[in-house]
Amino acid sequence: RRQFKENPKIMAENVEDRVAPDYARCVDISTRGALRAMILPGVIAVFTPIAVGVILGPQAEAGMLMVGTMGGIVLALFLNNGGGAWDNAKKYIEAGYLRVNEEGEMVDRLDPKGTVLGKKSEPHKASVVGDTVGDPFKDTAGPSLHVLIKLLSTITLVLAPLYVFLHP
């Protein structure tokens, strides 16, 4: 917003009068904000298994590792598959495969009596929203949980001798 206020030529009507915005500055601001926001989740992910192992002992740490792994895998599978399904639903509608009869019920895609609901239809609008949510699910959130599970198990494995030493 600051660039648009300081330099109105960015949005000039005439193409010859337009000035390119400072993209590097925008990316820098976004990157700094994202990294700053990730400090607390990173600290929690690293220090929670350490705190559980030191305070509660190796049995509690093993329980946390098992539950974290099982829950993380289930959630990652849901995010990956759900995101992919929402993405494919949009592609299915855009390809013209969604057909309905006069009552609005789905019919076979080869049924000649069916009406094709493609782009600009209400189901397509809904599928665009689903795709907007689904892409980050399958591309970022799901795979990042696999990294979190590996981090949890690595920290537990490396510090297991400490937990056993503190809780004989």
The domain in which residue 68 lies consists of 38-166
Number of domains in the chain: 1
What average pLDDT score do residues 84-98 get? 89
pLDDT band at 34 (very low <50, low <70, confident <90, very high): very high
pLDDT digits (tens, 9 = 90+) for 46-59: 999 999 999 999 99
Please say whether the beta carbons of 10 and 17 come within 8 A. Answer: no
Q: Is residue 14 domain-resident?
A: no
Q: Is residue 20 domain-resident?
A: no
Q: Is residue 76 domain-resident?
A: yes
pLDDT band at 112 (very low <50, low <70, confident <90, very high): confident
pLDDT band at 102 (very low <50, low <70, confident <90, very high): confident
Please say whether the beta carbons of 149 and 72 come within 8 A. Answer: yes
Q: Is residue 1 domain-resident?
A: no
d(CA 62, CA 164): 12
Mean pLDDT of all residues in the chain?
90
Q: Is residue 84 domain-resident?
A: yes
pLDDT digits (tens, 9 = 90+) for 13-33: 888 888 888 889 889 999 999
